[in-house]
A and B are shown apart, each in its own frame.
Chain A
Amino acid sequence: MEKKIRVLIAKPGLDGHDRGAKVIARALRDAGMEVIYTGLRQTPEMIASAALQEDVDAVGLSILSGAHMSLVPRVLELLKDNGQDSVWVFVGGIIPEKDGKALEDMGVRAVYGPGTSTTRVVEDVRSAAAE
């Protein structure tokens, strides 16, 4: 049986806007991937636990609250502690360019702003999983 790409889509932090996360989850599903959706208000600890138990290839974080500079590094750190540094982490939301660069320096593989086409995200995840 072919290997399925597994992706965790999570919403860390306190904002309740999960439309973007759901759109991405749906697009990845329609591209044939298995998408684990965790729902709102996840702590970095919850996200890392879920990523471990689900053995995902990629983790997508959707953040609109502005708290990305504290939440994302913590998720990266916990993934690394769990031996999952090879997981492809991407972030979507409203991220200022300067912060986006900083996040990429920390190990985030892609930062997607508003208006990013879902096709691009699907292709990025697919080629990352093929590596």
Chain B
Amino acid sequence: MTDLANKVLKGDRLALSRLITHIENYSQDHHAVLDQLFSHSGQAHIIGVTGASGSGKSTLVNRLALNMVNGKNGESHHKIGIIAVDPTSPFSGGALLGDRIRMRDLTSNPNIFIRSMASRGALGGIARAADSTALVMDAAGFETILIETVGAGQSEVEIARLAHTTIVVESPGLGDDIQAAKAGILEIADVLVVNKSDKAAADGTAQTLKAMLAMGEELRAQSNENSRTNWQVPVIKTSALNGDGIDDLAAAVNAHRVFLQEGGEWKIRSTARLKALLERLVRDSLFDAWNDPDNQLKMEEILRFAADHKRSPYQSVRDLLK
């Protein structure tokens, strides 16, 4: 066992932090550490939190994490890892990571570990390093891992492949019932939150979403009788500002975990998560091989053939994979 893996398993926070940096920088020498930590993972409940920018995700994560870490009677020793993703600038490659501003209540809590993460060009609303980071936090003994995506639009649905439970945060007044009927982000919700319930339009938004969900369930019942999931997506009104509804949200998230574990879907989702990880590793390994300096001459030749229209890029890639 490597020294770093040992330290991470023993709860050394600096070691965990350094390992996450290695993961983010994609340095190959950390792979041995991940090999060793992998067998210790698989316990944590991984929760995704997504929604439009400004819908209040960070503030909600702050409230939810506080609620979970304190437990009902304040006696809990529940450990929570948080991965907060913000976008990388496509121009400078830099990023301003500001999710901690809303999580000041959590910063010094010994049972909470927050890592801000830049998306570094990954599409889909999360960072490439998020899956492996969740894995090492899991191995390090964090029972719950909250992953906050970048401000998501309609198609940033990667988080659903990474999380056991996906919370989609909506806020009042963002579009009509046609927006709610469109495909995409609402479909991945296991728990729907209408945040900013202190605003007048919140009730209407919650009603619209409930109607949309009811319609979706009817369709699903018609099309697939032995639908393996009969989870009813709850619509929960919260105010991250004053704390209303946070108990309900924590209860719903917990209910979903129990539902997954008792109904057998926990295993299905965990396997789907590993499949997503495997697919990413295959994609990244091929792409890294393509970018390897040792292969540059070959790659330039392929590009030249393509530019001269002598050999199609399709043919070249087929040849490469032989």
Contacts and interface: CB of A to CB of B under 8 A. Distances in A.
Interface of A: 1-4, 6, 25-26, 28-39, 42-43, 45-46, 49-50, 52-55, 82-84
A34 B118 contact: yes
Nearest to A6: B21
B83 to A, nearest CB: 11
A32 B92 contact: yes
Interface residues of B, number: 29
Contact of B89 (A6, A29, A39): A29
A16 to B, nearest CB: 14
Q: Is the interface of A mostly helix, strand, loop or mixed?
A: mixed
B94 interface: yes
A52 B96 contact: no
B92 A39 contact: no
Interface stretch (B38-46, B69-77, B100-108, B236-244): B100-108
B8 interface: no
A22 to B, nearest CB: 9
Contacts of A50: 100, 107, 114
A82 B18 CA distance: 13
Given A53-B113, A55-B20, A82-B14, A4 B25 contact: yes
Contacts of B89: 29-30
B21 A35 contact: no
B107 A37 contact: no
Given A1-B25, A4-B25, A50-B107, A35 B17 contact: no
Most buried by B among A36, A37, A49, A83: A36
A34 B24 CA distance: 12
Nearest to B24: A4
B100 A32 contact: no
Interface string B265-285: 000000000000000000000
A45 B104 CA distance: 12
B210 to A, nearest CB: 36
